[in-house]
């Protein structure tokens, strides 16, 4: 049984096909990268798995249970966490409160009105923050953090739901070069130790080839290749369609 | 119901649809380009009507004939167009990037200013314009007489649609407007002077409002209440049609015109109820109206309450404050106590709105609905059931909470400016019901004889009751703001996708917030009803909603104490200005505009900012 | 020769985070300068800062010898500085012809060689889809339209943000041809690119930007020769 199985997903906007018979699986503990040029349908596929977009046809199964039409809230309860391309945190709250909020929701306490939110799960929140290296910033406002740090907080928020599957949409977009590797190393070790399956999209090929255990290549809504980084690097079709465009253009050194 | 009757009703519906479309079209155009919902659009319509009702008779005296009549109409519309230019240059230009709440409030400031100016210039009386030369005789349709002027109106709607279509599709100006509707920054990067484009759009929008108003003069007397009644209808038309969409506005106006013409047969008292039902159905299926698009939203969300360290000695200060307030009756000045009671009531009212706006980011522009429901709930219980105050209070609270549950249930599907406009429209409908359902609500006169029980009949005793209920409710709401529930509400305000992705049921959370805020406003409304001994429809009106917003803004939406300070300041200002001048609306309007431009953080927020800057 | 576009000491911040530090670069008439750097290095911000689309400070920011610091964006554009945005930003509700119309600047008409018909000659695809809406075009077609739209304003220089991003290789090839054609007509181009090979194929000079600072500025040949620099700043 795969952790996540995506079966023949289809989606069209007007006449434009954004996803055609997309099928793949994510296993526990692996980091699966979904790559492709702009407009290939990455976001569409991603949002159909995250619950932001209903597919026209096809199914999404988490541990064999169909969640094709479940809302994002239900998916969270089933064990899907996610981070966003543009980091989304609660900027009016402190770093710790951000994670506490996620824990409050995870423990189904978001309707409580007689207790103080600040007193809920603070220790667990600090625990998660130290895992992503943000414990020292716990009481700072999220709005003053550097962008890379917001991404870390977002990761802690996603982990608060004890996810089985983590969806990361361009996890390193907008980050400085050195921060990228650090964040992906962190993500990688979390995936391994917690046996979380990670599906991510990414533009930076160094990040993709440096961290993915498997890669899916999407082109015009269809998966044209799937395999290990080495296999994808050698795949002629992928090189022609996506990776190899620069040298092919000019013959530059 | 015979065929000729149906035909005449349908024609009536078409005529009012035309008038409505011409006006609403201007609103939607201006919104499309500037992303500002111009509250003063209805005022421009009113100015158009007054100008035409004054100008056209004068022109007909100079030279009697259809040319003078129609020329007068067009000149009036042009004058209003120029007024739109003045408004754009002096105000709108400065607030294009401001939060939508501020934009709405600032343009409401214009509404107040224009109300007083219209009275100053045209006098307080209604003015009925002349009938159009050449169109005085009715025509016969299927054996019934039908005013020929109405036929001209029916043609005017499609004619304006065609003209606007031509301008938008076939001229460079129109092409630029459509481009700017989508991406203002890129238009500027291509060398287009946006300022000129925006001014031009405002001219066009105001011209259409003026034309809509001017065309009414043979049918409806120009009057000082027409600004707020038309703006509520225009909001409905633009929202149902989809904000920024001209064809959408036309379709919506057509449907609403027919609904009003035939709805009168079902709900003879309030055709607005039918319109409300239509709106509910359309928005339930298409949250952005017929042709609206999700990405076209108004200004940025206002920032609200943020986490901060609890103030040192905050509890002590609050306790001292409450004790001082409780000692106020010792001074024994009855007028002071009356004012203090009102300030407390409105502070509670504004504070309940704080939960929606400051915490939830839900810019409700119709909070008077719940205040009024609380007041009417109590008053109706007293009047029809003969119940004492002790029973009437819970009844008021219950009615307000039920109203909030109903209105909230479908506005929580919306966001930003749509939510603001829908809450306003919902409040206007309740206003219309209170106004028109005379047998139950007493209509314009309202309900009198709503007096408190004996034990709190004295001014001091009632003041203390108000203080107690206000303090309890405020503490309860404050508790909620700091509870997981309040945090989840704030989380959804800060980032809706993030809140959903951690499993927060955003809509339910917001719906519950509406009920709590509505109940809070309901308590304030009940307290107000018993303090005055009467209720009337103005408690449900737009000015009451704006009062709450002004107090909130005056105090600062980032703070918990803000609404309390705002209520006190607004009341003192009003008490000081009103006796001095007949132009208090003008002053209030200018103050609101000034406040939005100078103190966007509110009084308490600004003072706190100074403190933080020094620290 | 005085530079067409002269930038000295340009800095910019988003909120509290400074993203550009003391950027200096020059663009001379008729030359193609490639601003090369990774995602997030500050390329887009640099271009936007020049046009006044993000707030920035500069010791000198001049176009054709005239200071453009603090000028409204449309005035800068009217001086003859064109801009093609990273994500193309076609007006999707407008047809191809209407998009071009927005780019036309009456004040600059007839000044240099671009006209609607000539542009249709340069972009034959666009000629075939004059009446089509922007929303119904592919990414590559939109990119061509974005460039044509800017050329309608007869600019003396164009800021071109990541023209090869996310489009098919065959279109990238065509893009290179278009940039060469612009250069042949005397239009100077400041190009931001991640794809250094593409930049090398069409650029006269290279500026390498990393973490908001200029790491290298010089002839393209020197950039190509410096493998260590490429490895460090671009990871290739």
Q: pLDDT tens for residues A5-18?
A: 999 999 987 667 88
C224, A252: Cβ pair inside 8 Å? yes
Give the chains touching A; criterion: ≥3 Cβ pairs < 8 Å: B, C
Query: What's the pLDDT at B293?
Result: 74
pLDDT exceeds 80 at position A211 = yes
Task: Provide the angle, in degrees to the nearest 10, between the axes of the packed helices B3-34 and B172-182.
Answer: 70
Tokens representing residue A111 in the block = 């309707």
pLDDT bracket for residue B2 (50, 70, 90): confident
Which CATH number does the domain A4-79+163-250 belong to among 3.30.9.90, 3.40.50.300, 3.40.1190.20, 1.10.3720.10? 3.40.50.300
Interface residue B295 vs chain C (CB under 8 A): no
Interface residue B354 vs chain A (CB under 8 A): no
Domain enclosing residue B568, as ranges: 334-614
What ipTM was estimated for this complex? 0.92
Of all residues in chain B, the percent with pLDDT exceeding 70 is 94
Interface residue A18 vs chain C (CB under 8 A): no
- Helices (H) then strands (E): counts for chain A: 10, 10
For residue B264, tell me if it sits in a domain.
no
Q: Count of CB atoms within 10 A of residue B321's CB?
A: 13
Query: What's the pLDDT at B604?
Result: 64
Contact A21, A9 (CB under 8 A): yes
When CB atoms are compared, the residue of C39, C138, C200 closest to A173 is C39
Mean local confidence (pLDDT), B564-584: 82
Q: Exposed, middle or buried by CB within 10 Å (0-12, 13-18, 19+), for C24?
A: middle
d(C-alpha A187, C-alpha A181), whole Å: 10
Where are any strands of DSSP class E within B120-173? Answer: 139-141, 144-146
Number of folded domains that form chain B? 2
B495, A112: Cβ pair inside 8 Å? no
Query: What's the pLDDT at B397?
Result: 96
pLDDT exceeds 90 at position B353 = yes
Query: What's the pLDDT at B615?
Result: 52
d(C-alpha B7, C-alpha B154), whole Å: 14
d(C-alpha A212, C-alpha A5), whole Å: 18
Q: Count of CB atoms within 10 A of residue C121's CB?
A: 11
Chain C residues touching residue A202 (CB < 8 angstroms): none
CB within 8 A of A34, min separation 6: which ones? A42, A45, A46, A199, A200, A201, A215, A216, A218
Name B140's bridge partners. Answer: B145
d(C-alpha B348, C-alpha B401), whole Å: 15
For residue B241, tell me if it sits in a domain.
no
Q: Looking at B173, B197, B224, which one is the last position of a domain? A: B224
pLDDT exceeds 50 at position A248 = no
Query: What's the pLDDT at B93?
Result: 87
The backbone torsions φ and ψ at residue A59, rounded to the nearest 5 degrees and listed phi first, read -140, 150
Residue C171, min C-alpha distance to chain B (Å): 23
Spans of all domains in chain A: 4-79+163-250, 89-155
A243 to chain C: nearest residue by CA?
Answer: C169
When CB atoms are compared, the residue of B175, B182, B190 closest to C150 is B190
Q: Tokens 């009217």 identify what position?
A: C78
Query: What's the pLDDT at A176?
Result: 66
Where are any strands of DSSP class E within chain C? Answer: 5-14, 17-27, 32-36, 56-57, 60-63, 66-67, 81-84, 157-161, 188-193, 205-210, 213-219
C196, A246: Cβ pair inside 8 Å? yes
Q: Are residues B199 and B348 in the same domain?
A: no
pLDDT: which is higher, B317 or B489 = B489
Query: What's the pLDDT at A253?
Result: 32
Chain A residues touching residue B494 (CB < 8 angstroms): 89-93
Give the chains touching C; criterion: ≥3 Cβ pairs < 8 Å: A, B
pLDDT bracket for residue B612 (50, 70, 90): low
- Helices (H) then strands (E): counts for chain B: 25, 4
Tokens representing residue C96 in the block = 């191809």
Name C210's bridge partners. Answer: C213
The backbone torsions φ and ψ at residue A166, rounded to the nearest 5 degrees and listed phi first, read -120, 125
- What is the helix (H) or strand (E) element at residue B20, kind and residue range? helix B3-34
The backbone torsions φ and ψ at residue A71, rounded to the nearest 5 degrees and listed phi first, read -75, 165
Q: What's the start-to-end Cα distance of chain B, in Å?
A: 76
Chain A residues touching residue B488 (CB < 8 angstroms): 101, 104-105, 110-111
For residue B11, tell me if it sits in a domain.
no
pLDDT bracket for residue B325 (50, 70, 90): confident
For residue B431, tell me if it sits in a domain.
yes
For chain A, the farthest-separated pair of C-alpha atoms sits apart, in whole angstroms, at 69
pLDDT exceeds 90 at position B4 = no
pLDDT exceeds 80 at position C213 = yes
Closest CA to A109 of B597, B85, B504: B504
Chain A residues touching residue C135 (CB < 8 angstroms): 14
Chain B residues touching residue C116 (CB < 8 angstroms): none
Interface residue B171 vs chain A (CB under 8 A): no
Query: What's the pLDDT at B23?
Result: 96
For residue B396, tell me if it sits in a domain.
yes
Suggest the residue from C43, C168, C206 to mutate for an interface test with chain A (most A CBs closer than 10 A). C168
pLDDT: which is higher, B271 or B77 = B77
Sheet holding A197-201, edge to edge: A80-83, A165-169, A197-201, A31-35, A214-219, A222-227
pLDDT bracket for residue B614 (50, 70, 90): low
Interface residue B407 vs chain A (CB under 8 A): no
pLDDT: which is higher, A105 or B295 = A105
Query: What's the pLDDT at B300?
Result: 52
d(C-alpha C171, C-alpha B515), whole Å: 56
Name C224's bridge partners. Answer: none
Chain C residues touching residue A177 (CB < 8 angstroms): 38, 40, 210-211, 235
Query: What's the pLDDT at B182?
Result: 83
Query: What's the pLDDT at B414?
Result: 81
Query: What's the pLDDT at B87?
Result: 95
Tokens representing residue C16 in the block = 């509290």
Task: Provide the angle, in degrees to the nearest 10, between the axes of the packed helices B542-555 and B584-598.
Answer: 40
List b or e across B251-273, with b for residues whose CB sees 16 or more CB atoms inside 10 angstroms.
bbbbbbbbbbbbbbeeeeebbbb
Q: What's the start-to-end Cα distance of chain A, in Å?
A: 47
pLDDT bracket for residue A245 (50, 70, 90): very low
d(C-alpha B104, C-alpha B545), whole Å: 12
d(C-alpha B353, C-alpha B520), whole Å: 8
- Angle, alpha carbons B390-B393-B396 (nearest 5°): 150
d(C-alpha C36, C-alpha C195), whole Å: 8
The backbone torsions φ and ψ at residue A117, rounded to the nearest 5 degrees and listed phi first, read -60, -35
Query: What's the pLDDT at B295?
Result: 55
Of A112-116, B394-398, B439-443, B570-574, where does mean pLDDT reach its minimum? B570-574
Suggest the residue from B503, B504, B560, B605 to mutate for an interface test with chain A (most A CBs closer than 10 A). B503
DSSP string, chain C: ---SEEEEEEEEEETTEEEEEEEEEEE-TT-EEEEE--TTSSHHHHHHHHTTSS-EE-SEEEETTEE-TT--HHHHHHTTEEEE-TT----TTSBHHHHHHHH--GGGTTSSS--HHHHHHH-HHHHHTTT-BGGGS-HHHHHHHHHHHHHTT--SEEEEE-TTTTS-HHHHHHHHHHHHHHHHTT-EEEEEES-HHHHHHH-SEEEEEETTEEEEEEEHHHHHH-HHHHHHHH--
Contact A73, B503 (CB under 8 A): yes
DSSP string, A150-195: HHHHHHHHHHHT--SEEEEESTTTT--HHHHHHHHHHHHHHHHHHT
When CB atoms are compared, the residue of B488, B490, B502 closest to A157 is B502
Of B126-140, B593-607, C21-35, C140-154, where does mean pLDDT reach its minimum? B593-607
Q: Looking at B224, B259, B274, which one is the last position of a domain? A: B224
A115, B502: Cβ pair inside 8 Å? no
Q: pLDDT tens for residues C147-159?
A: 999 999 999 999 9
Query: What's the pLDDT at C109?
Result: 63
Q: The domain that contains B512 carries what CATH number?
A: 1.10.3470
Q: Tokens 């287009």 identify what position?
A: B192
Interface residue B186 vs chain C (CB under 8 A): yes
Closest CA to B305 of B363, B359, B350: B359
pLDDT: which is higher, B145 or C235 = B145
Q: Exposed, middle or buried by CB within 10 Å (0-12, 13-18, 19+), for B388?
A: middle
Contact B173, B200 (CB under 8 A): yes
For chain C, the farthest-separated pair of C-alpha atoms sits apart, in whole angstroms, at 49
Query: What's the pLDDT at C42?
Result: 87
Closest CA to C200 of C18, C36, C15, C82: C36
Q: Looking at B206, B224, B242, which one is the last position of a domain? A: B224
Tokens representing residue B38 in the block = 């111009």
Mean per-residue pLDDT over chain B, rounded: 88
d(C-alpha C73, C-alpha C153), whole Å: 14
Q: pLDDT tens for residues C9-27?
A: 999 887 666 788 899 999 9
SS3 B311: coil
pLDDT exceeds 60 at position C41 = yes
Of A40-49, A87-96, A233-242, C101-110, where does mean pLDDT reach its minimum? A233-242
Residues of A with CB under 8 A from a CB of B: 50, 52, 71-73, 76-77, 81-82, 84, 88-94, 97, 100-102, 104-106, 109-118, 120, 141, 143, 154, 157-158, 160-161
d(C-alpha B485, C-alpha B179), whole Å: 42
Query: What's the pLDDT at C166?
Result: 66
Chain A residues touching residue B306 (CB < 8 angstroms): 92-93, 141, 143
Residue C55, min C-alpha distance to chain B (Å): 14
Contact B364, B419 (CB under 8 A): yes
Mean per-residue pLDDT over chain A, rounded: 86
- What is the helix (H) or strand (E) element at residue A148, kind and residue range? helix A147-160
Query: What's the pLDDT at B296?
Result: 46
CB pairs A-C closer than 8 Å: 62
Of B97-106, B210-219, C75-84, C192-201, where does mean pLDDT reach its minimum? B97-106
Of A97-101, B33-37, C6-10, where does mean pLDDT reach its minimum? B33-37
When CB atoms are compared, the residue of A88, A93, A154 closest to B307 is A93
- In order of start, what are the domains of chain C with their CATH numbers? 5-234 (3.40.50.300)
pLDDT exceeds 50 at position B297 = no
CB pairs A-B closer than 8 Å: 114
Q: Tokens 């004492």 identify what position?
A: B388
Suggest the residue from B308, B481, B494, B502 to mutate for an interface test with chain A (most A CBs closer than 10 A). B502
d(C-alpha B535, C-alpha B537), whole Å: 7
Suggest the residue from C102, C116, C161 to mutate for an interface test with chain B (most B CBs closer than 10 A). C102
For chain B, the farthest-separated pair of C-alpha atoms sits apart, in whole angstroms, at 82
Tokens representing residue B11 in the block = 């024609």
Q: What does each C-alpha distance from B528 to B372, B441, B473, B522 come to in angstroms?
A: 10, 17, 15, 10
């Amino acid at each position: 049984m795969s952790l996540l199985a995506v079966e023949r997903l289809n989606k069209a906007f007007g006449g434009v096909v954004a996803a055609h018979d997309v099928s793949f699986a994510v296993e526990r503990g692996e980091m699966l990268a979904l790559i492709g040029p702009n407009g290939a349908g990455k976001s569409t596929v991603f949002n159909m798995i995250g619950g932001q977009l209903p597919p026209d046809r096809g199914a999404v199964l988490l541990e064999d249970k169909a969640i094709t039409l479940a809302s994002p809230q239900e998916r969270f309860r089933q064990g899907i966490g996610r981070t966003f391309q543009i980091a989304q945190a609660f900027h009016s709250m402190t770093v710790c409160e951000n994670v506490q909020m996620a824990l409050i929701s995870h423990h189904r306490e978001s309707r409580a009105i007689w207790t103080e939110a600040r007193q809920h799960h603070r220790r667990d929140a600090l625990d998660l923050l130290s895992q992503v290296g943000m414990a020292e910033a716990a009481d700072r406002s999220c709005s003053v953090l550097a962008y890379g740090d917001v991404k870390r907080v977002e990761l802690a928020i996603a982990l608060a739901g004890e996810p089985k599957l983590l969806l990361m949409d361009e996890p390193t977009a907008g980050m400085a070069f050195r921060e990228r590797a650090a964040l992906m190393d962190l993500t990688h070790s979390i995936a391994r130790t917690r046996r979380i399956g990670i599906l991510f999209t990414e533009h930076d090929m160094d990040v993709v080839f440096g961290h993915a255990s498997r890669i899916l290549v999407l082109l015009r809504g269809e998966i044209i290749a799937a395999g290990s980084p080495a296999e994808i690097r050698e795949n002629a079709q992928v090189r022609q369609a996506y990776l190899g465009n620069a040298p092919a253009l000019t013959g530059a050194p | 119901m015979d065929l000729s009757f149906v035909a005449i009703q349908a024609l009536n519906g078409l005529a009012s649809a035309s008038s409505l479309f011409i006006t609403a079209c201007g609103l939607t155009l201006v919104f499309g380009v500037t992303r500002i919902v111009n509250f003063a659009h209805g005022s421009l319509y009113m100015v158009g009507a007054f100008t035409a009702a004054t100008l056209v008779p004068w022109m007909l005296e100079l030279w009697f004939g259809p040319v003078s009549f129609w020329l007068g109409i067009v000149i009036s519309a042009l004058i209003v167009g120029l007024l739109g230019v003045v408004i754009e240059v002096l105000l709108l230009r400065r607030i294009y990037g401001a939060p939508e709440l501020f934009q709405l409030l600032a343009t409401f400031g214009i509404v107040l200013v224009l109300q007083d100016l219209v009275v100053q210039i045209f006098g307080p009386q209604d003015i009925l314009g002349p009938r159009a030369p050449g169109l005085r005789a009715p025509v016969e349709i299927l054996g019934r007489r039908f005013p020929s002027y109405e036929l001209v109106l029916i043609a005017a709607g499609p004619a304006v649609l065609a003209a606007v279509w031509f301008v938008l599709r076939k001229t460079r100006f129109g092409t630029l407007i459509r481009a700017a509707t989508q991406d203002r920054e890129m238009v500027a990067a291509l060398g287009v002077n946006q300022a000129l484009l925006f001014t031009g759009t405002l001219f066009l929008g105001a011209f259409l409002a003026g034309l809509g108003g001017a065309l009414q003069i043979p049918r409806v007397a120009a009057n000082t209440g027409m600004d707020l009644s038309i703006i509520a209808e225009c909001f409905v038309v633009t929202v149902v049609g989809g904000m920024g969409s001209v064809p959408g506005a036309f379709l919506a106006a057509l449907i609403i015109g027919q609904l009003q013409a035939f709805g009168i047969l079902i709900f003879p008292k309030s055709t607005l109820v039918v319109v409300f039902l239509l709106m509910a159905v359309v928005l339930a299926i298409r949250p952005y109206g017929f042709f609206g698009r999700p990405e076209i939203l108004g200004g940025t969300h206002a920032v609200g309450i943020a986490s901060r360290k609890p103030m040192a000695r905050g509890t002590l200060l609050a306790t001292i404050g409450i004790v001082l307030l409780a000692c106020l009756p010792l001074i024994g000045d009855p007028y002071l106590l009356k004012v203090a009671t009102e300030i407390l009531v409105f502070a509670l009212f504004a504070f309940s709105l704080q939960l929606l706006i400051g915490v939830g980011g839900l810019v409700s522009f119709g909070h008077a609905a719940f205040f009024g429901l609380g007041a009417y709930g109590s008053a109706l219980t007293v009047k029809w059931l003969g119940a004492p105050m002790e029973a009437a209070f819970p009844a008021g609270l219950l009615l307000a909470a039920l109203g909030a549950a109903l209105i909230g249930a479908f506005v929580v599907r919306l966001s930003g400016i749509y939510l603001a406009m829908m809450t306003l429209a919902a409040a206007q409908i309740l206003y219309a019901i209170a106004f028109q359902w005379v047998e139950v609500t007493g209509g314009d006169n309202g309900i009198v004889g709503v007096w408190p029980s004996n034990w709190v009949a004295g001014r001091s005793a009632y003041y203390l009751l108000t203080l107690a209920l206000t303090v309890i409710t405020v503490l309860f709401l404050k508790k909620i703001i700091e509870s997981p529930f309040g945090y989840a509400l704030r989380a959804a305000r800060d980032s809706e996708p993030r809140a959903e992705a951690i499993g927060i049921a955003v809509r339910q959370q917001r719906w519950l917030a509406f009920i709590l805020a509505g109940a809070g406003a309901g308590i304030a409304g009940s307290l107000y009803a018993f303090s005055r001994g009467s209720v009337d429809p103005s408690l449900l009106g737009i000015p009451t909603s704006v009062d709450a917003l002004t107090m909130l803004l005056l105090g600062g939406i980032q703070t918990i104490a803000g609404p309390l300070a705002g209520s006190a300041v607004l009341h003192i200002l009003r008490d000081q200005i009103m006796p001095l001048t007949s132009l208090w609306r003008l002053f209030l309007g200018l103050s609101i505009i000034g406040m939005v431009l100078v103190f966007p953080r509110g009084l308490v927020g600004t003072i706190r900012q100074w403190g933080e800057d020094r620290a | 020769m005085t530079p067409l576009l002269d930038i000295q000491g340009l800095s910019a911040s988003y909120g509290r985070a400074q993203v550009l530090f003391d950027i200096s670069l020059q663009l001379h008439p008729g030359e193609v300068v490639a601003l090369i750097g990774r995602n997030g290095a500050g390329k887009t911000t640099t271009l936007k800062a020049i046009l006044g689309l993000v707030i920035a400070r500069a010791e000198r920011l001049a176009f054709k010898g005239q200071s453009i610091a603090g000028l409204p964006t449309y005035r800068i554009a009217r001086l003859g500085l064109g801009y093609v945005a990273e994500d193309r930003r076609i007006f999707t509700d407008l047809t191809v012809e209407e998009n071009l119309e927005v780019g036309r600047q009456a004040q600059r008409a007839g000044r240099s060689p671009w006209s609607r018909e000539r542009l249709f000659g340069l972009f034959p695809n666009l000629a075939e889809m004059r009446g089509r809406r922007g929303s119904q075009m592919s990414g590559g077609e939109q990119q061509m339209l974005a460039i044509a739209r800017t050329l309608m304003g007869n600019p003396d220089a164009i800021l071109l943000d990541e023209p090869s991003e996310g489009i098919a290789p065959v279109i990238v090839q065509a893009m290179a041809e278009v940039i060469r054609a612009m250069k042949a007509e005397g239009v100077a181009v400041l190009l931001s690119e991640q794809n250094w090979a593409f930049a090398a194929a069409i650029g006269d000079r290279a500026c390498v930007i990393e973490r908001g600072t200029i790491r290298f500025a010089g002839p393209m040949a020197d950039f190509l020769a410096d493998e260590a620099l490429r490895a460090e700043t671009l990871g290739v």
